[in-house]
A and B are shown apart, each in its own frame.
Chain A
Amino acid sequence: MIQLEHVTKTYPKASRPSLDEVSVGIEKGEFVFFIGPSGSGKSTIIKLLLHEVTPNRGRVHVNGRDVTAMRSWKIPAFRRQIGCVFQDFRLLPNRTAYENVAFALEVIGKTKAVARRVVPEVLELVGLGGKEHRYPHELSGGEQQRVAVARAFVNRPLILLADEPTGNLDPDTSIEIMRLLDRINRTGTTVVMVTHDSNIVNQMRRRVIEIESGRIVRDQARGVYG
Chain B
Amino acid sequence: MRLKYVMSEVMVGLWRNVTMTVAMIITMAVSLFMLGASGLIYTQVKDMKAYYYDKIEVAIFLKPEITDEQRSALEGALKSDPMVREVIYESKDEAFTKFQSMFADVPAVVDAVKPGQLPESFRVGLVNPEQYQQVREAYVGKDGVDQIIDQRNLLEKIFNILGSVQTGALVAASVMAIAALLLVGNTIQVAAYSKRREVAVMKLVGASNWFIQAPFVLEAVVAGLIGAILGFGLLAVGKIVLLDGSLQDLTDLLTPLSWGKVLIMLPLMALAGTVVSSVTAWVTLRFYLRV
| Chain A residues within 8 Å of B, Cβ to Cβ | 50, 72-73, 75-80, 82, 84, 90, 92-93, 103-104, 106-109, 111-112, 151, 155
Contacts and interface: CB of A to CB of B under 8 A. Distances in A.
A84 B207 contact: no
Contacts of B197: 90, 92-93
Contact of B204 (A72, A79, A93, A106): A79
Contact of A77 (B1, B203, B206): B206
B204 A80 contact: no
29 contacts: A72-B291, A73-B209, A75-B206, A75-B291, A76-B203, A76-B207, A76-B209, A77-B206, A79-B203, A79-B205, A79-B206, A90-B200, A90-B204, A92-B198, A92-B201, A93-B197, A103-B198, A103-B201, A104-B201, A104-B205, A106-B1, A106-B2, A106-B5, A107-B201, A107-B202, A107-B205, A108-B206, A109-B2, A109-B208
Nearest to A78: B206
A93 B201 CA distance: 12
Interface in B236-291: 291
Contacts of A50: 204
B207 A107 contact: yes
The 10 closest A-B pairs by CB, nearest first: A79-B206, A80-B206, A107-B207, A104-B205, A76-B206, A76-B208, A107-B202, A108-B207, A92-B197, A84-B204
Contacts, number: 55
Given A76-B207, A76-B208, A80-B206, A111 B1 contact: yes
Contacts of A109: 2, 208, 211
Interface string B221-238: 000000000000000000
Nearest to A51: B291
B2 A90 contact: no
Contacts of B2: 106, 109
A151 B202 CA distance: 11
Nearest to A77: B206
Given A75-B291, A107-B211, A80 B201 contact: no
